[in-house]
């Protein structure tokens, strides 16, 4: 990704993993980053790129006890919506961001957890872009739960896999359809209108770690699994046909579909490489010098992507 040479780093004192780009039109180049420390207390920070200083600067932070597995800002550009951020760790935590004397203040607004059963750690979640009041979460205890965040109520919960679920992803075309993947190696697609029936996409030899719908194609899923240097692209209309993307020298740790450009996928891995794929080929590459754990795209700032390695966030202009 040497198209422009514009690469900026933000270094912290803790191992990072979850991060997210803001979509609000009045908050250009704003991100959230979250620590993933199993031995010490954790945090979520909101940071923003300052054009004048050419630096990523901290706006505010909030301390948490447990590591954060995923973070997402409210999935809409409109500034009339609440400025919200959700982080997942022992439960889903909803934060609001408000202006306080010219500064942005991060405040925990509420949290979502089961009242009738013991809460297992939340491994991942997704926020519907079509119906933004809906958030779906996966848990370590094999359950998937759907929440209405406006009413802060549980819509349903059910056992979806035989082992812990590692990721969930809403269809970009229908908020009733979502995919999930689990440590039992299975990847499944569900329709909440008939939740007892699922389409099993594949049974992998290793743990299925990530599953993501293509933002432009509701028939296309990208999947990665444990100890595997391949990315598997499935077409739901013909799951027997699989496109395997191979260029990472070690296992792939993170994937992210480009939300503004059809059929572009970003991946990062243990080899330190960040690769942009298009049409089954790697068209750009960058090496961060150490294993990269996670990656993402900015939907608002279309030519920017991000990666996490160690205690560093990097944003790259591509």
Is the pLDDT confidence value at 116 over 70?
Answer: no
| Residue pair 87/71 in contact by the 8 Å Cβ criterion | yes
pLDDT digits (tens, 9 = 90+) for 143-171: 999 999 999 999 999 999 999 999 999 99
Half-sphere exposure of 311 (CA within 13 A, CB side): 8
- CATH for 7-39+67-92+110-317? 2.130.10.10
In this predicted structure, the answer to whether residue 62 has a pLDDT above a threshold of 50 is yes
Question: Nearest CA to 232 among 62, 248, 216?
Answer: 248
Provide the pLDDT for residue 306. Answer: 99
CA–CA dist 123, 192 (Å, integer): 20
When pLDDT is averaged across residues 20-48 and rounded to a whole number, the result is 96
Distance of alpha carbon 3 from alpha carbon 203, whole angstroms: 38
Q: What is the largest CA-CA distance in the chain?
A: 57
Stated pTM of the model: 0.95
The rounded mean pLDDT for the chain is 95
- 283: Cα within 13 Å, side-chain hemisphere: 11
% of the chain exceeding 70 in pLDDT: 97
The total number of residues shown for the chain amounts to: 318
The confidence score (pLDDT) of residue 4 equals 46
């Amino acid at each position: 990704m040497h198209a422009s040479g514009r690469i900026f780093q933000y270094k912290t004192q803790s191992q990072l993993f979850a991060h997210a780009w803001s979509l609000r039109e009045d908050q250009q180049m704003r991100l959230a980053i979250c620590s993933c420390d199993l031995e010490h207390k954790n945090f979520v920070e909101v940071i923003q790129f300052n054009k004048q200083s050419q630096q990523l600067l901290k706006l505010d932070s909030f301390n948490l006890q447990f590591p954060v597995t995923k973070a997402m800002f409210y999935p809409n550009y409109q500034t009339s919506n609440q400025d919200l951020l959700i982080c997942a760790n022992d439960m889903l935590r909803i934060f609001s961001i408000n202006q306080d004397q010219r500064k942005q203040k991060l405040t925990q607004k509420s949290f979502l957890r089961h009242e009738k059963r013991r809460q297992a750690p939340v491994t991942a979640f997704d926020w519907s872009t079509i119906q933004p009041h809906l958030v779906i979460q996966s848990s370590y205890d094999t359950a998937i739960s759907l929440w209405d965040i406006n009413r802060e109520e549980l819509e349903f919960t059910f056992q979806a896999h035989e082992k812990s679920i590692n990721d969930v992803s809403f269809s970009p075309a229908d908020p009733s359809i979502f995919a999930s993947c689990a440590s039992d190696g299975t990847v499944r697609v569900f329709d909440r209108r008939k939740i007892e029936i699922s389409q099993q996409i594949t049974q992998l030899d290793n743990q299925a770690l990530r599953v993501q719908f293509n933002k432009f194609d509701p028939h296309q899923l990208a999947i990665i699994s444990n100890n595997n240097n391949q990315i598997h692209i499935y077409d739901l209309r013909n799951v027997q046909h699989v496109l395997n993307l191979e260029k990472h020298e070690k296992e792939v740790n993170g994937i992210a579909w480009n939300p503004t450009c059809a059929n572009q996928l970003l991946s990062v891995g243990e080899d330190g490489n960040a690769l942009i794929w298009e049409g089954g080929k790697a068209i750009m590459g960058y090496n961060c010098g150490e294993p990269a754990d996670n990656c993402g795209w900015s939907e608002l700032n279309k030519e920017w992507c991000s990666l996490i390695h160690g205690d560093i966030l990097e944003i790259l202009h591509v």
